[in-house]
Structure 1
Amino acid sequence: MKFRRKSTTGDAESPEVASSEAPQVEAPPGPYDADDLPEDGVERVDLGSLLIAPEEGREVRLQVDESTGNVQSVMLAGADGAIEIRAFAAPRNGDLWNEVRPQIAADTAQRGGTATEREGRFGTELLCQMKVQRPEGGTATQPSRIVGINGPRWLLRATLLGRPAIEPEAQGSGEWEDVLTRVAVRRGTHALPVGEPLPLILPDQARRVSPPA
């Protein structure tokens, strides 16, 4: 959305006024801190620590731990892929994504997969390949792409699946990345250990989806 500043000097005979328009200020791209959310007219779904903008052609789902009833993550699913979004507590000054990225890569390798770094739209990200069990038997390789974005006392982590993970340079993948630019994170003022997931709530109208094994 663009914000236009209106001039209060309506001198129509002045060449300078007549030949120039007031500058247009474009709202900075997100993800946003909830306290700095611009007035962009978007009615976001309030999930507690995450405010998610509805996306045409994509369904908002919540992954819920059935044993505890706690919401673990938010997923937007579409025809060609999906994006799982989580937010974590982070130090006021620091680069938590730079710290946890090697840990994610090491954990992926320990489970028999691979994780390689690449430079993307939001900085350094991980391209992962993991062996998974097929429901009908046998194994398959599931590609994923993990993006981390540092915010004020929070880290937003997104895992892209499907086409945006397989073809990160494709035009459609950019549209999936755009989803993150409309997300807002509500950190809260309470103290939390670094790396602690920020709590999510389950609206009545949300679809419950159990996390994969």
Structure 2
Amino acid sequence: MGLFRRTASKGTPQASEPAEQPQDVAVPAGEPAEGTTAAEPAEPARGPFDASQVSSMGPRVDLGAIWLPVLPGLELRMEIDKRTQKVTGVSATLGGSGLQVQAFAAPRTAGIWDEVREEIAASVTKQGGTVDDVPGPFGRELIARIPATTADGRQAVRPARFVGVDGPRWFLRGVLTGKAAVDAAAARPLESVFAGVVVVRDGAPRPPRDLLTLTLPNQGRKPETATEGLAPETPSFDPLTRGPEITEIR
């Protein structure tokens, strides 16, 4: 059984500050769906998927614009903007690795990942980090090394992998951190989560890069209060969120 955590996103503190422990709500865990029945249209071998490409939600958790696959031991954490109380993203952690997922509106006729990669690379470089644009399982991706400060004040480097997929009128971005950012074997489970995401794009007109609406599961249930502690580390840079370049999830 995984844990579903609710957190709030906030302002512009430095990336080195620790995040507060979010609140916990249990959600079911399972394995990604395999195959379809003969009467159903065949699901593409690899996603992320558009909702029109799948016949059912399967063993995924419904977060509104994102249906996220769940695995045994996977811990999910919703990111909430304290000012607007809107859900801005979801993070999944497993075995010392993290995956942040966000879905955005995109133009009907063109993708935006090429442009977004350039912006991420420019921002990381501006912060004093380094970036490599390399091929990956989802196409071109960025391997970034982001300057950070440890809890005891020492300078360090935080690795992160930025992956992105352009879909029909949507763009899905993932950020792999922890072991998954540097170790291929550690990354595979979270890559399978990202590959199994279904994006549900509503028919409303939206400007490009507008965050697609995410919702909390089991909204009628009051979360239990968790003890304070450190949340998994995530990169501080979000090139698609309107506002400051440096944000921190709290």
Given that 2:97 and 2:187 are in contact with CA atoms closer than 8 Å, whether structure 1 keeps it comes out as no
Q: Which has the larger radius of gyration?
A: 1
Residue in structure 1 matched with residue 197 of structure 2 by the alignment: 183
Residue among 52, 66, 90 paired with 1:35 = 52
Alignment of 1:113-132 (within 5 A): 113-132=129-148
Given that 1:131 and 1:142 are in contact with CA atoms closer than 8 Å, whether structure 2 keeps it comes out as yes
Residue in structure 2 matched with residue 2 of structure 1 by the alignment: 35
- Tell me how far apart the structure 1 counterparts of residues 36 and 58 of structure 2 sit (CA, whole Å): 15
Please state whether the residue corresponding to 1:2 is helix, strand or coil: coil
Deviation of 1:54 (Å): 1.5
Moved more, 184-193 or 25-34: 25-34
Please state whether the residue corresponding to 1:28 is helix, strand or coil: coil
Q: Which amino acid aligns with 2:201?
A: R
Residue in structure 1 matched with residue 249 of structure 2 by the alignment: 212
Please state whether the residue corresponding to 2:201 is helix, strand or coil: coil
Residue in structure 2 matched with residue 141 of structure 1 by the alignment: 157
Normalised to the residue count of structure 2, the TM-score between the two structures is 0.70
- Tell me how far apart the structure 1 counterparts of residues 191 and 59 of structure 2 sit (CA, whole Å): 19
Is residue 172 of structure 1 aligned with residue 186 of structure 2? yes
- Tell me how far apart the structure 1 counterparts of residues 43 and 204 of structure 2 sit (CA, whole Å): 32
- Tell me how far apart the structure 1 counterparts of residues 101 and 37 of structure 2 sit (CA, whole Å): 32
Residue in structure 1 matched with residue 234 of structure 2 by the alignment: none
Deviation of 1:4 (Å): 5.8
Q: Which amino acid aligns with 2:187?
A: S
Alignment of 1:22-101 (within 5 A): 27-39=44-56, 42-101=58-117
Alignment of 1:187-202 (within 5 A): 187-202=201-216
- Tell me how far apart the structure 2 counterparts of residues 67 and 26 of structure 1 sit (CA, whole Å): 39
Given that 2:111 and 2:167 are in contact with CA atoms closer than 8 Å, whether structure 1 keeps it comes out as no
When the two chains are superposed, the root-mean-square deviation of aligned CA atoms in Å is 2.4
Unaligned runs of 5+ in 1: 7-24
Q: Which amino acid aligns with 1:172?
A: A
Pair 1:71–1:43, CA change in 2 (3 A): same
Q: Which amino acid aligns with 1:184?
A: V
Pair 1:106–1:27, CA change in 2 (3 A): closer
Unaligned runs of 5+ in 2: 1-33, 232-246
Given that 1:32 and 1:185 are in contact with CA atoms closer than 8 Å, whether structure 2 keeps it comes out as yes
Pair 1:93–1:135, CA change in 2 (3 A): same
- Tell me how far apart the structure 1 counterparts of residues 149 and 77 of structure 2 sit (CA, whole Å): 23
Q: Which amino acid aligns with 2:204?
A: H
Name the % identity. Answer: 33
Pair 1:37–1:126, CA change in 2 (3 A): same
